Chain A
Amino acid sequence: MTAVVGQGPAGVGGSASGRSASGSIYDLGYRGYNGPRLGRRHAVAALVRESLRTTFGIGRGGRAKVIPFGLAFLVLLPALVAVAISGLRGQLPLGPEGEDISPVRYANYYGLVAQLLFMFAAAQAPELVGRDLRSAFLSLIFARALRRTDYVAARVAALVVAIAVILLLPQALILAGHSLASPDVLDAVGSDLGDVPAVVGQALLAALLLATVALAVASFTPRRSYATAAIIVAFVVPPLVSGLLRSLAGSPTASRLVALASPSDLLDATNRWLFGLGGPERVAGGGPVAALAAVAIVVAGLAVMVVRYRRLPV
């Protein structure tokens, strides 16, 4: 079979390019494509789709799914408990105090599952950007319509969506369970609706911050394990430092300033602010400043990634 670069029309079968008395040679090799091409938007959308699949290990065999789905399930677990409690409340001999017996609520849901979200980001961010750094895939992608910023945006968008979904799904479940379990469904829905903006706001902030930081760190090394370790350090260690500065060193100012650079502390502060919980301010400037700082870190993370991928010699 000869491989001849041909210009045949798209989709047409091989043409006989050589004939002799005893036979023909069919050109079944490379053929150019002159049909319509979808634009940059479709390329980005395709990359986002592929990134979402990678984030959950879809299309990569069973083992790749264990960790993402396992962690997602663990995040769902408290909601399952809450729904069970809602459902059983009617059976249990509880008075009106029983209304709020569930330890799992919207206000503390993020706090319950924060560490699981850290691990999800730490586990999957390297999967998203690490492989490309090792292989020649990037040179293939950037040879087409996709720009470097598009690549970064697509990867980040996918992980943000993934984390947001993982965090929102259980809370939606709680809403459903709570409403359906109560005698007046519409009334229950109405009373919970007030929390929805806070729930969504916190989920978006968390998803944006965790995804961006994780991907920014992961984009510096193709080795999965170093990236994971570094991401976990970035999430888990600063709150320990700020906590120690607060309790041991008795220097609350230093503690509050360190907390401004700690994604974990920032998200705790925004959670408290969005849900109107009281308590001492652990971040300099309180909830609103924390939200701003989070946004600033997101922007900085994106900038770092764009610069990194622009500078990559592919």
Chain B
Amino acid sequence: MIATIAAAAARALLGRRRTVLIVLFAAVPVLVALLARDRGPNATETAAQLIDLLVIRAVLPITALVLGTAALGSELEDGTAIFLLTSPVARWRIVAAKLVVAAGGSALIAGGSALLAGLVVAVDDPSRGFVAAAVVGVIVGAVVYSALFLAASIVTSRALILGLIYTLVWEGTLASLFAGTRLFSVRQYVLSITDAIGGGSAHPFGDTLDGATAVVLAAVVLGLGLAVAIDRLASWEIGPAD
């Protein structure tokens, strides 16, 4: 059942012009990587900066935003979700199916972007190890972001802009001002997990959370996102008739 819904969702979500645009966007880090190759102080530092600025701060959240809010949100907004919701499928299965597609797509695109861009600049072994760690971190980020934005899209029709404010203001500006907000920032989890797996002694991302803490927090946020999504979907109401 999940597979059926996921297949339909994949067709609706990914088989569109927007996917081409997202993939083009995800290619930008790779292009910049080609220019940055062999130019930085050391390969790991180069890879870290490249992936941090272009993938973790841009491609990853924006891809997860677009796919996560559209997976269920576009159907809820245009009304075609009725045909899905008036079926005896358990709400958690619906959420799971949609999440698989959104998170899978985001992980593939953002992870692929990190991988390809990273491989271009990773000319020595430590940097390759770092890139592999970054891909893992990005995939984790894709799953958690997608779950959060999927839940948000059920609660409000403005999930995309709110998600943007979250990533730009909360995870960006505020995190640099108030260190405590790092605990509630998915970006921090991604950076911390990457650093824990492949950061080595260099710690190119600076002061991040402890790896285990980040994993636990990410799992908690993921669980909360799923719980909210399932509950809100079960209580979803059609808008007032014209």
Contact = CB atoms under 8 A, between A and B. Distances in A.
B178 to A, nearest CB: 14
A123 B161 contact: yes
Nearest to B40: A248
Label chain A's interface by main secondary structure: helix
A303 interface: no
B149 to A, nearest CB: 11
B47 to A, nearest CB: 9
B168 A229 contact: no
Contacts of B66: 225-226, 229
B218 to A, nearest CB: 24
Interface residues of A, number: 31
Centre residue among A67, A241, A244 by max chain B CB count within 10 A: A244
A74 B65 CA distance: 22
Contacts of A243: 53
Contact of A115 (B21, B54, B58, B173): B173
A249 B21 CA distance: 26
Interface string A232-244: 1100110011011
Nearest to A225: B160
Interface size class of B (residues with CB under 8 A): 20 to 34
A244 B32 contact: yes
A220 to B, nearest CB: 11
Contacts of B32: 241, 244-245, 248-249
B161 A119 contact: yes
B106 to A, nearest CB: 13
A239 to B, nearest CB: 10
Given A74-B169, A115-B172, A226-B18, A248 B50 contact: yes
Interface in B151-166: 158, 160-162, 164-165
A240 B54 contact: yes
A188 interface: no
A240 B58 contact: yes
Interface in A116-130: 116, 118-119, 122-123
B164 A244 contact: no
B51 to A, nearest CB: 10
B50 A232 contact: no
Closest 7 interchain pairs by CB? A249-B36, A248-B36, A225-B160, A123-B161, A249-B35, A249-B39, A250-B39
Interface of A: 63, 67, 71, 74, 115-116, 118-119, 122-123, 224-226, 228-230, 232-233, 236-237, 240-241, 243-245, 247-251, 254
Interface of B: 18, 21, 25, 28, 32, 35-36, 39-40, 46, 49-50, 53-54, 57-58, 62, 65-66, 69-70, 73-74, 158, 160-162, 164-165, 168-169, 172-173
